[in-house]
Structure 1
Amino acid sequence: MKMNRFWIFGLAVFLVACGGNETTPKKEDNKAVETEETASKEQTITYLDKSYTLPSKVNNIIAASLESMEDAAMLNVKPLGAVTTAGKLPEYLASDLEGATSIGEKMQPNYETILKLKPDVILGSSKYPDEVVEQLNKIGTMIPVSHISTDWEDNLLLMGKLTGKESEAEKIISDYKTEAEAAKTKVAEKVKDKSVFVIRIRANSMFVYPASVYLNPVIYEDLGIKVPELITKTAAQEEISIETLADVNPDIIFLQFEESENDKKTAALDDVLKNPIFKSINAAKNDKVFVNVVEPMAQGGTAWSKEKFLNAAVENLSK
């Protein structure tokens, strides 16, 4: 009997041991499961030929650039945080982005505030200096949204991908192109052989931009107006003297002026408009100087800016 009891006990121990080996996962198996679970919680977003790893569902978006804020407004997206001017959302976007927490000024984000908001993604700016990029990347994935106007479609589609509104973004792009084609036909005779300039007053000086920058693509690409020689030679934002402007003598000027970008102690806009040399230019003599036809803080290279400016430009060019 003793032998039988020992034999049965030994058999039980053996079976338990074997059973334990079968049900205990190997360390390698655990790692594989963890990797699969992590992968299922992530997604890869490609933007301007670069890939970014983000949570599979993006909820907390920080719009740390005016470009991304304009895209958010266009798609009716409410970012958790956004850049502000003097602590307030820019007036022209305030109602669309109501409720967004201030994360600092457009070139001076508040890292501590952004960290507290626990962002899934930070939509920064391609204009950020290296030190800002480095700090934001320590907090989370930062995508530098392009400030180049010709990237407007990629920018809007990025916001669409992040928020499940890609089809809406595609429709906005398609509708704009249709509207632009119709507008081009509408103004063709009015602007034939006319020179058209977009000029921005900043720091009490006048600036022009390359044909592919700021609001210029609406004029020279979408409406098909000939690019002036001076603009073809412009490589970046470039100051233009009033004497040089008089020499090129444009027929039509779209003049943009934002108070916060100029010395408040001077009347920079009035100084230009009342200058005798400026008043001698064809555009001024023929009442073809159009001031702030679109919000002066509009970034130019976004769907929001393009749509607003196209409508305003056509209205004024048709006169």
Structure 2
Amino acid sequence: MPTARTHPHTHAPLRRRALLTGALALTGALTLTACGSSDPADSGASGTTRTVKTAMGDVKVPKAPRRVVVLDTAELDSAITLGVRPVGATHVEAGSGFPDYLPKDKVSGIKDVGEMMNPNLEAIAALKPDLILTSKIRHAAKYDQLKAIAPTVMTETTGYPWKENFRLHAEALGKRAEAKKVITRYRAHAERVTQAIGGRAKAERTEVNVLRFIEGADIRLYGDQSYIATILKDVGLGRAPIAAKAKDGFSYDLSPEKIDLADTDVIFRSTYGDPKKSKETQTTRSGLWKNMRAVKTGNVHTVEDELWIQGIGYTAADKILDELRRDLTPKR
């Protein structure tokens, strides 16, 4: 069973903030009532609904939803990728606003409805959405409140099953044809990157690790059951043996004193939160770090956390493919 660790930007130290109180939840429900929507499932522009199979059972959604609210970065990426501008979206805890990798003109005008793990139900209800997208692992406890506002489509979890989740998002948004085109373009893009870095055999011989320095937590090395690992696999890149030790296939946690266990041909690293509090500064100044093979050969690449780890979608994946090509293509 997936846990909260499945998602790349979930960790306990940064989530110790006050959760939404029961009073606010009640207020949110009352706000909805004031909006005068007796049956949110029937609020689609076309006046008709479709049934979508979700992690919470069958849900009736508008045939052509026009006012969509998304409660995590994966759902935001899916919507933007499919040409849908949500009316509302949450932001991640360590930052504000929406991911910079998304086109500014595509996210302008979207209402920020609070921090991802603590969405503001009143703000969501005030937007009068006709569809809400999120995941069970994120907001199962708020499902009854959310579905009282609008039909709510939840995937089981986030991160690793992002491709399956994207298909469900597309189904809920009425964008299946567009989704097929996105998937086809992505596969072709991944193959071009494979060829650019030397072909399938060369890619398989190149072992890669992805590290994340996290404020208030251990250093995370991503295993094969993670979003970023699926992209590495699509390109055909090899993985260092330590990745196989990842708990539940998701991640293997390291202290600065054991960072040399992460050494391999190539390392991509990101930081979530304050570099000093995330042990990044301490680790990268250490002798262990400086003596690692990837460091000595200049094959450590610093990447943006919100793209490589938080993005979780095809728009993010395409940009990651471009960076893999840039960093791994042999220099001539």
Among 181, 185, 190, the residue aligned to 2:191: 181
TM-score (norm 2): 0.73
- In structure 2, what is the equivalent of residue 89 of structure 1? 98
Among 212, 218, 223, the residue aligned to 1:200: 212
- CA separation of 1:299 and 1:147: change in aligned 2, threshold 3 A: farther
- CA separation of 1:277 and 1:264: change in aligned 2, threshold 3 A: closer
The structure number with the bigger radius of gyration is 1
Q: Deviations over 1:34-73 (max 9, x none)?
A: xxxx9x7221123579532112331211011111111122
- CA separation of 1:241 and 1:190: change in aligned 2, threshold 3 A: farther
- CA separation of 1:244 and 1:134: change in aligned 2, threshold 3 A: farther
* Residues 1:79 and 2:86 are matched in the alignment: yes
- In structure 1, what is the equivalent of residue 263 of structure 2? 249
SS at match of 1:78: coil
* Residues 1:133 and 2:143 are matched in the alignment: yes
Deviates more, 1:182-191 or 1:285-294: 182-191
Q: Which amino acid letter does the alignment assign opposite residue 133 of structure 2?
A: L
The answer to whether the Cα contact below 8 Å between 1:65 and 1:83 also exists between their aligned partners in 2 is: yes
- In structure 2, what is the equivalent of residue 213 of structure 1? 226
The RMSD of aligned alpha carbons is 2.9
Q: What pairs up with 1:15-164 in 2 under 5 angstroms?
A: 41-47=48-54, 50-84=57-91, 88-93=97-102, 94-145=104-155, 147-164=157-174
SS at match of 2:225: coil
The answer to whether the Cα contact below 8 Å between 1:294 and 1:312 also exists between their aligned partners in 2 is: no
Deviates more, 1:43-52 or 1:169-178: 43-52
Among 291, 298, 303, the residue aligned to 2:302: 291
- In structure 2, what is the equivalent of residue 302 of structure 1? 313
Q: Which amino acid letter does the alignment assign opposite residue 239 of structure 2?
A: V
Deviates more, 1:193-202 or 1:221-230: 221-230
Deviates more, 1:304-313 or 1:291-300: 291-300
Deviates more, 1:105-114 or 1:53-62: 53-62
Q: Which amino acid letter does the alignment assign opposite residue 206 of structure 2?
A: K
Q: Which amino acid letter does the alignment assign opposite residue 254 of structure 1?
A: F
Distance 2:170 2:129 in 1: 17
Distance 2:312 2:259 in 1: 24
- In structure 1, what is the equivalent of residue 251 of structure 2? 237
SS at match of 2:236: coil
- CA separation of 1:228 and 1:244: change in aligned 2, threshold 3 A: same
Among 240, 244, 260, the residue aligned to 1:228: 240
Report deviation, 1:122. Answer: 0.8
Distance 2:256 2:191 in 1: 34
Larger RCO (CA within 8 A; separation ≥ 6)? 2
Report deviation, 1:308. Answer: 1.2
Identity within the alignment, %: 24
- CA separation of 1:243 and 1:68: change in aligned 2, threshold 3 A: same
Q: Which amino acid letter does the alignment assign opposite residue 221 of structure 2?
A: V
SS at match of 1:90: coil
Distance 1:264 1:227 in 2: 26
TM-score (norm 1): 0.76
Q: Deviations over 1:251-275 (max 9, x none)?
A: 11010123xxx24765743333222
Q: Which amino acid letter does the alignment assign opposite residue 227 of structure 2?
A: Y
Q: Which amino acid letter does the alignment assign opposite residue 113 of structure 1?
A: A
Q: Which amino acid letter does the alignment assign opposite residue 88 of structure 1?
A: G
- CA separation of 1:265 and 1:232: change in aligned 2, threshold 3 A: closer
Distance 2:261 2:160 in 1: 29
